[in-house]
Structure 1
């Protein structure tokens, strides 16, 4: 087994998006901080409704996928085609923007905690102009495995192996045609607990810690990954971590790199500047998602 090591730490930068929703952005905070095929990771988490109440009014996307994981709270998705989705605590929406979608994500609460993540995953050039699609996955469809030493693993995407038990998530690239073959786990560990998991050699991977801190790597190669930070991992066939004295909660995300040019202009992610100009023109003329 070749244990991956912590190669880079990207702190979550405080920012806002939508109509003023406060969040932390790590992967994708600048173009140089992407990790192919992952374009961006945002964490939102607050008990103050002023930080989220304005939500994300109608806005366009083209050329990639968004994965919204709602740990706590309730948001409603609506798009220009009349689709409506309710994203509640523990649920996931996997949206393939493809050639284009204009949608909104608005809070359905005016008090209490709202916490979760939005991950942007690039699409290969051959799939950037396919029709938009959605998978709304309620919490009860997401497998949860308890760990012997305390804690648990939620399998959102990919095929997990938890203490020798194979578990397939509701989004399973190995069983379908997903070019990036994603792995997405939400892991909770008790104080001092260890966790190891296989990761496909050649796939890019990172960990984001949102509670506590982690030691990442094996033996003398282990390094501390603090809270509210993404840790980019070296190549290898496994990840080994150990929680700090207060336990830890983190997401482990991995995927097959596309190794294609990335040209981004806000909510449009294509392969060339000409394609970006076409996306802007299509949006302005009403053809983006026609």
Structure 2
């Protein structure tokens, strides 16, 4: 757990960290967030994450709470103050505190910002990757603008809880055409029997994942066969491999989908290789 949090200009004990009851993030889920991996004391792909944060803020017409350079400074400080060598740093920006009204507040209402960080276990993550995870399908239940990384995550919570109750670590959303869109908190991939990597285009129905982008860079660098297109749940059942990507999981092999064994039931060589190479393709900035 985070020891120190940054809340609207102050570094405070995590147990004392709080936002106002009328913060629009609490009242309306009127805010956005980003999560960066921290690896060996370095913040992974911070520029890409902040670029996406900027886009999300722009789509919701929320101002930056401070300059981008100041945000970078705070991210580094929170990682340092929490003594995080390997883990995650989280940033959330909302439209701010104002009386409860669906309309945007006046321009003098300042956005709210919260930053936290926590340590995770690389050994536990590697043990999970060596075993692989199970995913469970779930009907798409979200608003169309999933390209914006908002804090409105109740649909994702319901999907992931459904997966947990059915023996899965992750949910895969299925659209009305029977295709996989993405995971509850990850992007979804398969490797076909012919060895082609497949993932859905990020222009429609999924978040443009930063980890996904790094894997695409690796796919090009390693000259792997790649198809950016929708794939069906049936294709996933018949795939040679499957995996998910996110800052919190990196490249995580999937060995079961809806209880059915994928491939030979063990993490695939392509997924494990991409996981091994992952940090060789990332932007690493010292915290």
Say yes or no: TM over 0.5.
no
* Range class of TM-score, shorter chain: under 0.3
Q: Determine which structure has the larger helix proportion and give its number.
A: 2
Kindly name which structure, 1 or 2, has the bigger radius of gyration based on alpha carbons. Answer: 2
TM, length-normalised to structure 1 = 0.26
